[in-house]
Amino acid sequence: MKPLVTLGIGMALVAALTCHDLRADDATTEKPQPAKKEDQKSTNLVRLDKVHEVWMEKKKKWVVVNGEVCLREGQLELFACPKGTKEHESVISLNSKAYLIHAALLAVGAKPGKPVSWDPKYAPAKGPIIDVHILWTDKDGKRHRAKAQEWVKHVPTGKPMTYDWVFAGSSVWVDEQTGTKHYQAEAGDLVCLSNFSTAMLDLPIQSSGENSNLLFVANTEKIPPLATKVRVVFIPRPAKKPQTTTPQKENGSPQKEEKKAPESANP
């Protein structure tokens, strides 16, 4: 087998993995469903695949994915995974392939960094910060919005997680015999809380995947009931303009301005 090919990708990944999904003639401008008439705003959402529920809003730099709550209690290694993969350790399962979300992030201007590494020593995941927002409607028809961090509790402090996710970009494994490329995050490592070299989004801190050392659990009181339909909005956070001295966040990443969050469950 050939070694993993790290995704310092740009257009190569789009061409190799998603060319048929992102062509204008294959895309549809339909809005995510269900939606009420008063919500059908001209947001220019473009659906990227006829099967998977993923949209892009290029002007606002949103990547929108439908999913549902799949876990409300217990230890977590992930926040979100593709449907049918790692629901036993993720809060949300998403109705999309990982590579489509990756390609959509590329299309709205995000550039992947580098996954975590342990060779020769630990080096955290790097990449632009991606803000993750959760939108949902409760059984009474009331709409809600939350930052994904609010649904995750940091065990050492007992408080909601404060770390940002970075677009590490996962990696591609190439089958030596067939030449087929496999995007590693498809196995489940989409939005990670424990460090994985296959993570698409990861935390830029040291976070073990060993059960005895897991740093995060589900923040049950903040999470709606199991099977609640949700809409997850990924928004690359723009960097501030260069300064003489770059302020630093607690996690060591440059301070950046968060883009305005979506206001409703139908962005």
Q: How many angstroms separate the Cα of 123 from the Cα of each of 126, 163, 196, 263?
A: 9, 17, 12, 36
Confidence band of 208 (pLDDT split at 50, 70, 90): confident
The pLDDT, as a whole number, for residue 23 is 33
Whole-prediction pTM: 0.80
Per DSSP bridges, beta strands 229-236 and 62-69 are antiparallel
Q: Which helix (H) or strand (E) holds 134?
A: strand 129-137
Tokens of 200: 């698409």
Per DSSP bridges, beta strands 78-82 and 92-94 are parallel
Give the SS3 label for residue 3. Answer: coil
The pLDDT, as a whole number, for residue 191 is 99
Report the pLDDT averaged over residues 71-82. Answer: 98
What pLDDT, in 10s, does the model give residues 123-181? Answer: 999 999 999 999 999 999 999 999 999 999 999 999 999 999 999 999 999 998 999 99
Does residue 26 surpass a pLDDT of 50? Answer: no
Can you list the alpha helix ranges (DSSP code H) found in 84-234?
Answer: 98-107
By the 8 A CB rule, do 99 and 105 touch?
Answer: no
Report the pLDDT averaged over residues 5-24. Answer: 38
The pLDDT, as a whole number, for residue 241 is 66
Does residue 25 surpass a pLDDT of 60? Answer: no
Confidence band of 257 (pLDDT split at 50, 70, 90): low
Does residue 4 surpass a pLDDT of 50? Answer: no
